Structure 1
Amino acid sequence: MLPRRLTPRIHDLLDHSPAVVLLGPRQAGKTTLALEIGERSPSIYLDLEDENDRARLSDPSRYLAGHDRELVILDEVHRMPELFQQLRGIIDRGRRQGKANGRFLLLGSAAMDLLKQSGESLAGRISYSELGPFDALEIGPDQLETLWVRGGFPRSFLAESDEVSLTWRRNFIRTYLERDIPQFGPRIPAETLRRFWTMLAHNQAQALNAANLASALGVDGKTVARYLDLLVDLLLVRRLPAWNRNAGKRLVRSPKVYVRDSGIAHALLGIRDKEALLGHPVAGQTWESFVIETLITAAPEGTEAHYYRTSNGTGLDLLLTLPGGAFWAVEVTRSMAPKLERGFHSACADLNPHKRFCAYPGPDRYPLADRTEAIGILELAKELRAAG
């Protein structure tokens, strides 16, 4: 396993909070990271998908009282939502006895359900962090294109061959559709949801057209919204909102939607390896999505991400508003000789960002026109991380 750059942050949160929630899609490495963190001090691990571990918590207060000097790691905690109310009392009793922080590390795969359940019961007692698949800052620069092709799920990225990687991703998709997703809401036919997921992969980095998707699936717009909400909630799809603060322009309002892991997108589209990807019409779109996801992941906590598009086509691929108010504009290109289009200049004139970048695959950094720098993806990700 590669070291995860989130590890120091989880340690820090545990030092300052009674409970920490680690969110992330299944198979992203949450359990591995949690067990490594548990090695720092006495700990106990319970997998709430295991009947025996759930049985231990039939009386949570009594069982956990016997482990009040240990870090308790609860995996797939959304399987026992009734537990959050019990944890509140346990944490409050521990505070009165001087056991304030580092009590619980809770792992979950469904963001909105888990945030709602924990937020209602553990307000003021809990911190949150998100662990995604491997990102560009966790690998070597020579593996960037492998990360794009295979995606960052550990068993896919580290597979011994492209074929083994693709087989893993196909099984991952099948398992999510047939076993995992039915746990999180009303029954959705697996084949229908696969078609929807695949349509999103075909339209990577494109503005959402819910009417077209609904027509293709033979459902109504509300059903499309429900499918999309589910995949966003499971941290498999990202909705990138449109910038809407410039009242003097006619702006595109629909969000851009993309499959967050490029390797999963490629598996949905049947793309086997890099050669097949480079000859596929969606290559430019998945590259743009890959770069945007890389930069959002690298950005400081609290950064707001948007894209900008006017009705006449003026646009920017990514706008990042950093916590201190700094405003960065990013255009993404796959070309090794980046050039700025007229729409980029017009968008910058509209918005006047503090920094302007053209992110490209190369290693060099140099100035372009209009106070814009060409910059490699990894270097821009590192600059964003340092800005925090």
Structure 2
Amino acid sequence: MQIEGSVISWVVPVPLTPRRVAAQVDAALADTRVVLINGARQTGKSTLVRIVAGDRLAAWRDLDRERDRNAALADPTGFVDSMDLLAIDEIQRVPDLLLAIKVSVDEDPRPGRYLLTGSSRLFGMIAAPDALPGRMETVELWPFSQGEMDGQPDGFVDAVFASGPELRHRSAVTRADYAARIVRGGLPEAVTREDPRRRQRFLDAYVQALVDRDVRQLSDIQHKGELRKLVRLLAGRSSTVIAANALESTLGLSRPTVARYLRVLEEIFLIKRIPGWSRNLGTRTTAAPKLIFVDSGIASNEISVEARSLLRPGAPFGPLLESFVISELARQLTWSRQRADLYHYRDQKQYEVDAVLENRSGQVVGIEVKAASTVRSDDFRGLRRLADRLGDDFVAGVVLYTGDSTLPFGDKMRAMPVSALWQVEAP
């Protein structure tokens, strides 16, 4: 990128990895005044702006630069003044700009006025004014999906709702391949580093920078050492149900402090909490959430596992594979035609389902994840419980495993290779 005054011109590196949500951003600019691309740092938000905006982009403001930040603080109205599409990077650095943008788009309601990027959940921030209801569309950008990296269709969510138990898939992906994918993760900078030691150094620095910079911007954290310890602790408990009171004694911090730290880590897109599912809407928010890392490479690095060691007996291959699968599902839900929400299921009798997808019609797909290359009937225990509860609303129960073929396990129940997530095409 080259910047001349306030006008941006791009020197385009090749090749660029196409992003699934690019079409969604482009469509939003056609009918919405403000579009926000929100996601973790270094997931490619600026590159996506470059691709989508193209020749429409009049100017670029980067609030990570001190000069731009100072100008925004001194004169918010002048800072956002633009007749054409204006891109503002890292909007969370000066959240009061949202008020100036609100005034501007109310006076001139043309679509495609502002394209913002952010590395924290804006409206989870205490300092962010709730200024843009009805004026802004938010598009969430995750690290690369497996399909984006492989040039595969990433169509599992749409395909399983359309085909249910009739969906079939064969795979040549091995357990060693899955382990390598988990450890690599999907952050663009990490993916380009083939040397594992260089990737580890990048991931170490990445997490430390989040703690030192982004967390400080969002919250008054007094114990950064304990926060760093919490990140490692959570990586070791990835894809488990996490409650703040279970971490108090280990960290030596109060329950409210641990809860605040968890909230901040989610706001900077380091972790994601998956709510518990229930048909009773009032219980969804009270069921304990399951925690995953947004990037499996970060989780693997935090507990110091490499691809080879992940395959040894006693290694945390199962929990990391489950977190990897759930994060791939979450990515797909940002672009799938099927509008669905992601939950996990756990009832008082200890029946569990790793991931529950429910669409707007109340249809449900249940997904279990197994690190084994063989599947047993008992692996469908939670899925059968879910099917009994739902009746005709239950579309399919799928056990994703590290084997190579699709196997039937009764009415609406199938075992299927994990790679179906990115290798299956949407209908």
Query: Is the TM-score greater than 0.5?
Result: yes
Specify the alignment match of 1:59 in structure 2: 75
**Is residue 364 of structure 2 the alignment partner of residue 348 of structure 1?**
no
Aligned-residue CA RMSD (Å): 2.6
Provide the TM-score with structure 2 as the length reference. Answer: 0.81
Is residue 340 of structure 2 the alignment partner of residue 303 of structure 1?
A: yes
Q: Are 2:38 and 2:121, in contact at CA under 8 Å, matched by a contact in 1? A: yes
Select which of 221, 224, 227 maps to 1:187: 221
1:377 alignment counterpart: 418
Deviation at 1:149, TM superposition (A): 1.1
CA contact (8 A) 2:214 2:268 kept: no
Partners of 2:200 and 2:93 in 1: how far apart? Answer: 29
Aligned pairs for 1:96-107 (under 5 A) are: 100-107=110-117
CA contact (8 A) 1:19 1:126 kept: yes
Structure 1 position 49, deviation (Å): 1.6
Paired AA for residue 133 in structure 1: P
SS state at 2:103 partner? helix
1:38 aligns with 2:53: yes
DSSP 3-state at the match of 1:92: helix
Q: Would you say the 8 A contact 2:92–2:120 is kept in 1? A: yes
Give structure 2 stretches of 5+ with no counterpart.
1-15, 153-172
CA 359–92 in structure 1, closer or farther in 2 if over 3 Å, else same? same
Q: Return the offset for 1:147.
A: 3.0
- Mapped partners of 1:126, 1:156: distance in 2: 31
Deviations 1:151-200 (A, max 9, x none): 11111122131111111101101111122211111123221001111111
How many angstroms apart in 2 are the aligned matches of 1:122 and 1:373? 45
Q: Which residue of 1 aligns with 2:294?
A: 260
Give the C-alpha shift of residue 117 in structure 1: 7.0
Match of 2:409 among 368, 371, 376: 368
The amino acid that maps onto 1:93 is E
**What's the counterpart of residue 157 of structure 2?**
none
Q: 2:131 aligns to what?
A: 121
Note the C-alpha offset of 1:115: 7.7
- The answer on whether the counterparts of 1:363 and 1:376 sit within 8 Å (CA) in structure 2 is yes
Assess if the C-alpha contact under 8 Å between 2:57 and 2:87 holds in 1.
Answer: no
User: Deviation per CA, 1:263-319, whole angstroms, max 9, x where unpaired?
Assistant: 111111112x20122235322101001101111221247522211122332221111
**Pairing of 1:61-100 with structure 2 (within 5 A):** 61-65=77-81, 67-69=82-84, 71-95=85-109, 100=110
Structure-2 separation of matches of 1:226 and 1:62? 35
Q: Secondary structure at the match of 1:120?
A: coil
Q: Alignment partner for residue 24 of structure 1, among 22, 36, 39?
A: 39
Deviations 1:35-89 (A, max 9, x none): 2223242331111121222344433434544x312x2110111111111111111
1:318 aligns with: 355
TM-score, normalised to structure 1, is 0.89
* Partner-residue secondary structure (3-state), 2:108: helix
Partner Cα separation in structure 1 for residue 148 and residue 247 of structure 2: 35
Tell me, yes or no, if structure 1 residue 277 matches structure 2 residue 293: no
Change (3 A) 1:174 1:118: closer
Work out the CA distance in 1 between the residues paired with 2:49 and 2:127. 21
Distance 1:56 1:224, change over 3 A: closer
> What's the secondary structure of 2:256's corresponding residue?
helix
Give the alignment partner of residue 5 of structure 1, picking from 17, 20, 35: 20
Q: Distance in 1 between matches of 2:259 and 2:131?
A: 28
Q: How far apart in 2 are the matches of 1:313 and 1:305?
A: 20
Identity of aligned residues (%): 28
Gaps of 5+ in 1: none
Query: What's 1:157 paired with?
Result: 191
Contact 1:147 1:157 in 2 (8 A): no
